[in-house]
Chain A
Amino acid sequence: MRNVAIVAAGITKFGVREASWKDLVQEAGKAVFDDCPNLDKKEVDSLFVGASQPERWVYQTHVAPLVAELLGIDARRVISRTEVACASGQAAIRYAWLSIATGLSDVALVLGVEKMTTKFMNLSQTCMVNVGNREFDGPNGFTAPPFFAMVAQRHMLNYGTTKEQLAMIRVKNAKYGSLNPYAQFQKEVTVEKVLGSRMISPPLTLLDCSAMTDGAAAVILVSEERAKDLTDTPVWVLGGVQSVLHSHTVNQMGELSEWLGLRRAAQEFYSLTKLEPEKIDFAEVHDCFTISEIIEYEELGFCKKGEGGKFIEEGQSYIGGKIAVNPGGGLLSNGHPLGATGVRQAWEVVMQFRGEVPKERYVGGAKIAITHNLSGMAQLHHIMGYSIEKPKEVRFGR
């Protein structure tokens, strides 16, 4: 087993793009290779594509070899596409890490991409219902907004979380998003603006929700031996976990305000990496809705269960607080192209560690970061850790 580092990162502008799925792949692919001039792309032996629903949004399947063709990659070790809805990108990074750590691959390209805006937005929205159980929850209109609205309703009931506290998540992430030129939304907002925006699914307003977005991001992972020739600023992978609690349909979810899948993933992650929440300098977490970030503070152990609302109210998740959360603007500002989101978070970690972000959203002196993704109705959770310093040992599990 060996250490693995990210040596390059590239991204497209996120938003409603006048660009095809293939354009997005080529844009992000060119950006990532431009970021690593010392790497000959012939050396890429493995390709991991994170893509959630290209079959439905752009009617294209078998996408890994298509990405290989679009970028002129002659991969020969692992060529795969991962699909776990909103976490497809992070899953792709995780499998690339495992493939290199075990010695199967040496140089892996991970590319996450989604084209979600189409001529028929109601068709695009319809694709989202299939992330849940389309036969049993689908006919009841169960897409993400009403589901997360009910999560918020239960969290408010059980812990006294307020709509203002939800809005404060958007205010923070919009502030950092306003400093991110790749983000879909780059305007600051106020609590009043969030509360007064159009009601989507009560208690969630338009600004409590992330958007349907086009975008792609890419990173290159290599073995420790290759990293030293390629960059002076490698970002080391500390490890990654994923956890699901046999749940997909509403019946299996139990109490909606308790994300037991994430609680278990966090335990696994801290045990794997020997980290504790206090040692993390910043976190890119899955704020698909404002309520998600509040529950993530709790389940990731940044604060006690039930105190996520207080945590944002006290400003503890701003840069300079207990732990900076979503200094890249999160999904709320960047938009959420499903397959690209997890890779976009890794891109943010790389830019932060290199100090290549505007100083108002720079987490100075950061050494350790994590990324978190949930997928679907928060049934499945992924966490990955990154360090600016090379880990002393490579660990897969306990």
Chain B
Amino acid sequence: MRTIKLPDSIELPTILDPWDQQEPSGPDATGIYDFYKNLAKGELTTTKCKDCGKMNFPPGIICPNCLSDNLEWVRIPETGELYAFSVMALGVPMIIDTYAPFVVAIARFGEYPDDGVQISGIIFDSKYEELKIGDKVKWEVVEIQGPGEKKRYWYCFRKI
């Protein structure tokens, strides 16, 4: 009988990696790479339309409101308000489960919805019981280390 020998281990692509679009070039490159470049510089930013004035999130290469491609990168106001929150402890997606349990929240920054955003984020440094709707929060940038030598960036919320 012919035998087909497979390798001792099979390396799978990191299809579950939620930060896989942070490469500036190559097949995973994204037209909104500035979002990640700005995160690396410590800034949470998004695109704002210079024609209709709408601040959009997530950022894009056109404005979904008026379809203009005349956009600018703007910094999301640093302090905002806690809008809703809960806890993620069970059934946490892989990779993210390495830092569960955590408080998951929605906060509003700026003048939502026209000139501000309502975004999701993790709160690492407060317990669920310590939070209430309306609390002042700020966003801050997080460094994601690994796998291997990789260094990438994301953001989280902190109660102030």
Interface string of A52-93 (1 = CB under 8 A from B): 000000000000000000000000000000000000000000
Residue contact B93 to A202, C-beta cutoff 8 Å: no
Q: What are 7 A-B contacts with C-beta separation under 8 Å?
A: A129-B93, A129-B96, A138-B93, A141-B93, A143-B93, A149-B87, A249-B58
Contact in complex: B18, A250 (CB < 8 Å) = no
- Which residue from B83, B97, B104, B133 sits with its C-beta under 8 Å from A146? B104
Among candidates B18, B92, B118, residue contacting A253 with C-beta atoms closer than 8 Å: B118
Given contacts A123-B94, A140-B120, contact A249 B57 (CB under 8 A): yes
Q: A126-B16, A141-B96 are in contact. Are A251 and B21 (CB under 8 A)?
A: no
Q: Is A98 on the interface with B (CB-CB < 8 A)?
A: no
Please name 15 further chain A to chain B contacts, defined as beta carbons within 8 Å, in addition to the given A150-B105, A249-B58, A250-B120, sorted by A numbering: A125-B92, A129-B96, A140-B104, A140-B121, A141-B92, A141-B96, A142-B120, A146-B88, A149-B87, A154-B83, A200-B89, A201-B88, A201-B89, A202-B128, A256-B106
Contact (A256, B84) CB under 8 Å given A138-B18, A146-B104, A251-B119: yes
Instruction: For A129, list chain B residues within 8 Å (CB).
Output: 18, 93, 96
Contact of A251 among B90, B93, B118 (CB under 8 A): B118
Residues of A within 8 A of B57 (CB): 136, 249, 251
Contact B18 A134 (CB under 8 A): yes
| Number of chain A residues close to chain B: CB under 8 A | 39
CB distance from B16 to the nearest CB of A (A): 6
Could you tell me the distance in whole angstroms from the C-beta of A379 to the nearest C-beta in chain B? 14
Contact A125 B91 (CB under 8 A): yes
B interface residues, how many (CB within 8 angstroms): 37
Which of A138, A143, A251 sits near B91, CB closer than 8 Å?
A143
- Look across to chain B and name the residue whose beta carbon is closest to the beta carbon of A154: B84
Instruction: Check A251–B100 contact: CB distance below 8 A.
Output: no
Q: Which of A122, A126, A141 has the most CB of B within 10 A?
A: A141
Residues in A lying within 8 Å of B, measured CB to CB? 122-123, 125-126, 128-129, 133-143, 145-146, 149-151, 153-154, 157, 198-204, 246, 249-251, 253-254, 256
Q: Which residues of chain B come closer than 8 Å to A137, judged between CB atoms?
A: 120
**Whole-angstrom distance between the Cβ of B33 and the nearest chain A Cβ:** 12
Q: What is the CB-to-nearest-CB distance from A140 to chain B, in angstroms, rounded to a whole number?
A: 4
CB pair B18–A139 under 8 Å, yes or no, is: yes
Cross-chain contact A250 with B86 (CB below 8 angstroms): no
Supposing A201-B87, A254-B113 touch, asked if A139 and B106 sit within 8 A by C-beta, the answer is no
Q: Which of B85, B88, B96 interacts with A153 by CB under 8 Å?
A: B85
B66-120 residues at the A interface, CB under 8 angstroms: 83-94, 96-97, 100, 102, 104-106, 113, 117-120
Distance from A278 Cβ to chain B, minimum over Cβ atoms (Å): 34
The 5 closest A-B pairs by CB, nearest first: A149-B86, A150-B84, A139-B18, A126-B93, A251-B57
Query: Which residues of chain A have C-beta atoms less than 8 A from B83's C-beta?
Result: 154
A151 to B128, CA, bound (A): 16
Q: Please state if A140 and B87 are interface contacts (CB–CB under 8 Å).
A: no
At the interface, yes or no: B64 with Cβ under 8 Å from chain A?
yes
Check A126 against B94 for contact (C-beta < 8 Å).
yes
Choose among B19, B84, B87, B117 the residue with the greatest number of A CB atoms under 10 Å from its CB: B84
* B122 at interface, CB cutoff 8 A: yes
Closest to B99 in A: A141
User: Which residues of the other chain, B, contact A150 by a CB distance below 8 angstroms?
Assistant: 84-86, 105-106
Inter-chain contact B19/A141, CB cutoff 8 Å: no
> B15 — nearest CB in chain A belongs to which residue?
A56
Using Cβ atoms and an 8 Å threshold, which residues of chain A touch B89? 199-201
Give the CA-CA distance A140 to B133 in the complex, in Å: 19
Given A134-B18, A250-B106, A251-B119, are A146 and B87 also a contact pair (CB < 8 Å)? yes
CB atoms of A141 and B100 under 8 A apart: yes
Contacts of A138 in B (CB 8 A): 18, 93, 96
Shortest distance in angstroms between B93's beta carbon and chain A's nearest beta carbon?
4
Residues of B within 8 A of A123 (CB): 16, 94
Give the chain A neighbours of B97 by CB distance below 8 A. Answer: 122
Residues of B32-80 whose CB lies within 8 A of A: 56-58, 64
